[in-house]
Structure 1
Amino acid sequence: MNLRELIDSSPMRGGQWAILIVCTFLNALDGYDVLAMAFTANPVSQEFGLSGTELGFLLSAGLIGMAVGAVGFGPLADVIGRRRTLLIALVVNALGLFLSATAGSMGELLAWRVVTGLGVGGILASATVLVSEYANVRRRGLAISIFTAGYPLGATLGGMAAAWLIANVGWHAVFLLGGILTVVSIVLVALLLPESIDYLAQKPTPANAKRAERIAVRLGHGEGAVLPEPVVDPSEGAGVGAVFAPRYRLNTIMVWITFFIVMFGFYFANSWTPKLVVASGMSEQQGIMAGIMITTGGIIGAVLYGVFTARWPARFVFAGFVALGAVMLCVFILSTDIIWLAFGSALLVGTLMNGAVSGLYTVAPNAYGPRVRSTGVGVALGVGRAGAILAPIIVGAFLDAGWTPTHLYIGVAIIVLFAVFAIIRIKPYVPSDDTRAVGTVDAPEPVIVRGA
């Protein structure tokens, strides 16, 4: 039996759980890094004398870097391998964090935040695919959900660490700690993460065949496992343009729409909630608590999504989380005068919106064949980051134009609902009729998430 079939059909083993844990740690670093600038906003503004606009550029710089990094590193991973690309991206990320800790001006910090974001974008593009490929079919949805839960977990724990570091050491230490943790992750990736099976299968050399044998032994499948036959699909091209090949065009458009809208709603809820609920009548402390409830709900939602996808089709669970998330955005903003209901609604907003992000990472890798999978996911992540970047800018503009918090939440909820229609149009990858595995008569079965 080939290694792809063994992984898909066998129970999850220790080596596979180790891969998941390392990748979840990488996603937690993403959560820490994204909020590192938010944690240090006040002391950085005071030290550099920043205006609100200048601070806004700093807050967006990392997200811009992530968008570019995801688009750039995704295609690279399909050429040189997911593991190698991941290590390069981690080095770039660590470099950006260490240099951020040395920044002596707003311009320097802005530049190093972009560099940091480039690395994070590359990390996510490769780690997402590795988690999907090394989980078996039964646990794939759960594995992606655990991976996604790393983000809010990293943000929560990072916030606690940052508060202590800023008070006792200074804001530079927040970035220094991030750099140290990234170096630790480089060691973990080098020691514990294997190369993508589907990538090795597309480059069938004797050396890659031996790598596959070693991977099989590490995962507890013993000797004798072979690489799946490489798939030759005439409808696929190479590079970013491959995701617009006729067979992928509709999927790509629907995946991009879904990523943009879900990330827009997710970052709106996470970034604007404390400010807007205060404008709706809550105290500042209550606004902070509402934000914490959303973050806490995010951890719950990521795990719940995985549990549900083990029982029901992934696409339908994804669509359900998005639809209910839109409803809860409305319930939340309409209940701010009833504190217990508002906090409960905030918890559900975080649960549903972060569960929806899990859906992105589950469905997107499934929409593309192995030759373009990292490219498809990487570019989609870049589009999603564009939604994350635009969310605070667009909402801020409407707020300045006189929109009330209620109008803003209901408006975003309506936008989020449109993602449901895109989700149900995304179809899992199936080899075309003229696709053949090299040297065989019949094409291999596609790697898909159960029920997707």
Structure 2
Amino acid sequence: MDLRARIDASPMHPYQWLIVALCVALNLLDGFDVMALAFTANSIRDDFGLDGATIGILLSAGLIGMAVGAFTLAPVADRFGRRPLILASVALATLGMALSAAAGSAWQLGTWRVVTGLGIGGILACTTVIASEYSSGRRRGLAISIYTAGYGIGATLGGLAAVQLQNEFGWRAVFVTGAVLTGLVLVLLFVALPESIEFLASRGRPSDLSEVNRIAVRIGQDPVEKLEAGTGPEENRAGRATELFSLRHRRPTLLLWFAFFTTMFGFYFVNSWTPSLLETAGLSKDQSATAGMMLTLGGAVGSVFFGVLAGRGSTRGVLIVFTVLSALSMAVFIASTAILMVAFVLGILIGGLINGCIAGLYTLAPSLYGPRLRSTGVGWAIGVGRAGAILAPTAAGVLLDLGWTAEQLYIGVAGVVVLAAIALTFLRPAVPGKPATAASSAAAVTGSSALGARAPR
């Protein structure tokens, strides 16, 4: 058995869980960052004298930066390594948060929000991959689900912290806190985060052997004797986005993008508009806010529950079930507001199911690509998903202006989410049952077939 297969078959070593925990910490910061601006928007508007449209642009600036970062920075990781790009991206996010705190105008704040988003986009593309690569086959779904749940936890804690900090010290303190926390995580990453074994193996330089064996010992595995040089055709195409459209990868890539776009569309619609639409449907302001918190609570639980189920069966099969149930729950949710407790229970259910869908996509995506295309493939899928995230709140607002009711909106978005289930039904690996790269098939320590063996079925 090569090292990749041994990692896949062995129980998770504490150091592997530490790697997952570092990735979770980065996703927590993503949630904190997003909610930091959402909860300080009114203070920023009053400070700079902004109108609603400008606040909307500021809220979107970070998401735009994330999408651009996922598209442009992810390929760098496939050429130069996951660890260097994660460190650079975290440093960029730290800088963006710090400069946001010092912004003297809306234009400056928007610029630094984009910079922060660029860093987070690079982080998301790499952490998803490295958490997947260091997880065992049995625990991969659970590890990625815990990682995904970090966003909801970070969003909740970020919202609570933002309220307290701005009440005591003003809105700038929220971004100072974010910069300090991100900087502390950067130090931890520099000390504890290893490079991807699969990246080192697929690159196959003579100097990489000692690094692979040093990491192997830390995760409780025996060293290997040699690495195969990365001389295959995909070695020279590492990190090229055009490779995603090759005959081999085009179909799974386009289906994955479609699933990411439609699922993220539904996810951000639910999280952005639910409190407001529930208030329109007759609930009080406090009741609507409570229902919004139910979505967040359900999200954390649902992500982990997805991982437990995926560890016992097919990731793709469980993901399709979660997607269909998400759509059904959305279709009946808004009609349940007459019975408050039912609405709250359905809110938890929707939050759990739609977050489970995100966890499933993050688990599934790395299995579709070889080591030298993996960050690029995952990063571009996340970028396309962020495009759906950006479009969802805007499209909902336009449809409301055109006279759509809350019930029609939820049913319409449920239909969009069903399209994700259809795409997933047809999704298969690029070359089922074979390693995803020619170079990696002969490598002494790698082979992406092991990574994907439990995923798409």
TM surpasses 0.5: yes
Give, in angstroms, the shift of residue 427 of structure 1: 1.2
Partner of 2:212: 212
Change over 3 Å in CA distance of 1:236–1:273 after alignment to 2? farther
Give, in angstroms, the shift of residue 33 of structure 1: 0.8
Match status 1:67 vs 2:67: yes
Secondary structure in 1 aligned to 2:207?
helix
Gaps of 5+ in 1: none
Partner of 2:295: 294
CA-to-aligned-CA distance 1:365-405 (integer Å, 9 cap, x gap): 11112221100000111100000000111100001111111
Q: What is the distance in 2 between the residues matched to 1:250 and 1:242?
A: 12
Q: What is the distance in 1 between the residues matched to 2:161 and 2:329?
A: 30
Secondary structure in 1 aligned to 2:452?
coil
Match status 1:285 vs 2:289: no
Partner of 2:151: 151
Partner of 2:452: 448
Partner of 2:370: 369
Give, in angstroms, the shift of residue 82 of structure 1: 0.4
Partner of 1:342: 343
Q: What is the distance in 1 between the residues matched to 2:55 and 2:290?
A: 23
Q: What is the distance in 1 between the residues matched to 2:74 and 2:7?
A: 23
Partner of 2:268: 267
Amino acid at match of 2:320: A
Partner of 2:20: 20
Partner of 1:8: 8
Match status 1:401 vs 2:402: yes
Amino acid at match of 1:67: A
Partner of 2:119: 119
Match status 1:52 vs 2:74: no
| Contact 1:270-1:291 within 8 A present in 2 as well | yes
Partner of 1:328: 329
Change over 3 Å in CA distance of 1:221–1:347 after alignment to 2? same
Partner of 1:130: 130
Amino acid at match of 1:247: R
Amino acid at match of 1:131: A
Partner of 2:320: 319
Give, in angstroms, the shift of residue 3 of structure 1: 2.4
Give, in angstroms, the shift of residue 449 of structure 1: 5.0
User: Equivalences for 1:26-105 in 2 at 5 Å?
Assistant: 26-105=26-105
Change over 3 Å in CA distance of 1:203–1:435 after alignment to 2? closer
Q: What is the distance in 1 between the residues matched to 2:216 and 2:443?
A: 23
| Contact 1:2-1:225 within 8 A present in 2 as well | no
Q: What is the distance in 2 between the residues matched to 1:439 and 1:326?
A: 43
| Contact 1:322-1:417 within 8 A present in 2 as well | yes
CA-to-aligned-CA distance 1:188-212 (integer Å, 9 cap, x gap): 1111111111110122122211100
Amino acid at match of 1:105: S
Give, in angstroms, the shift of residue 311 of structure 1: 1.4
Give, in angstroms, the shift of residue 237 of structure 1: 4.0
Give, in angstroms, the shift of residue 429 of structure 1: 4.5
| Contact 1:235-1:246 within 8 A present in 2 as well | no
Partner of 2:182: 182
Gaps of 5+ in 2: none
CA-to-aligned-CA distance 1:18-46 (integer Å, 9 cap, x gap): 00101001011111111111011111111
Change over 3 Å in CA distance of 1:221–1:383 after alignment to 2? same
Between the two proteins, the alignment pairs up a number of residues equal to 451
Amino acid at match of 1:285: D
Amino acid at match of 2:332: V
| Contact 1:429-1:448 within 8 A present in 2 as well | no
| Contact 1:139-1:310 within 8 A present in 2 as well | yes
Match status 1:424 vs 2:428: no
User: Equivalences for 1:192-231 in 2 at 5 Å?
Assistant: 192-224=192-224, 227=227, 230=230
| Contact 2:228-2:439 within 8 A present in 1 as well | no
Secondary structure in 2 aligned to 1:135?
coil
| Contact 1:3-1:226 within 8 A present in 2 as well | no
Change over 3 Å in CA distance of 1:438–1:272 after alignment to 2? closer
Give, in angstroms, the shift of residue 232 of structure 1: 2.9
Give, in angstroms, the shift of residue 439 of structure 1: 6.4
Amino acid at match of 1:249: R
| Contact 2:83-2:195 within 8 A present in 1 as well | yes
| Contact 1:367-1:426 within 8 A present in 2 as well | no
Amino acid at match of 1:244: F
Give, in angstroms, the shift of residue 298 of structure 1: 0.3
CA-to-aligned-CA distance 1:172-227 (integer Å, 9 cap, x gap): 01111111111111111111111111110122122211100110111122444655
Change over 3 Å in CA distance of 1:231–1:201 after alignment to 2? farther
Amino acid at match of 1:188: L
Q: What is the distance in 2 between the residues matched to 1:435 and 1:144?
A: 27
| Contact 2:440-2:448 within 8 A present in 1 as well | no
Partner of 1:169: 169
Secondary structure in 2 aligned to 1:337?
coil
Q: Which is further off, 40-49 or 224-233?
A: 224-233
Change over 3 Å in CA distance of 1:333–1:439 after alignment to 2? closer
Partner of 2:108: 108
Q: What is the distance in 1 between the residues matched to 2:121 and 2:447?
A: 31
| Contact 1:3-1:212 within 8 A present in 2 as well | no
Q: What is the distance in 1 between the residues matched to 2:228 and 2:142?
A: 24
Percent of aligned positions that are identical: 49
CA-to-aligned-CA distance 1:86-115 (integer Å, 9 cap, x gap): 000001100000000001111110100000
- Give the structure-2-normalised TM-score: 0.95
Amino acid at match of 1:394: A
Secondary structure in 2 aligned to 1:195?
coil
Q: What is the distance in 1 between the residues matched to 2:299 and 2:229?
A: 39
Match status 1:435 vs 2:420: no
Change over 3 Å in CA distance of 1:319–1:437 after alignment to 2? closer
Amino acid at match of 1:93: A
| Contact 2:97-2:176 within 8 A present in 1 as well | yes
Change over 3 Å in CA distance of 1:445–1:123 after alignment to 2? closer
Give, in angstroms, the shift of residue 235 of structure 1: 11
Give, in angstroms, the shift of residue 158 of structure 1: 1.2
| Contact 2:26-2:185 within 8 A present in 1 as well | yes
Q: What is the distance in 2 between the residues matched to 1:46 and 1:158?
A: 21
Q: What is the distance in 2 between the residues matched to 1:301 and 1:72?
A: 31
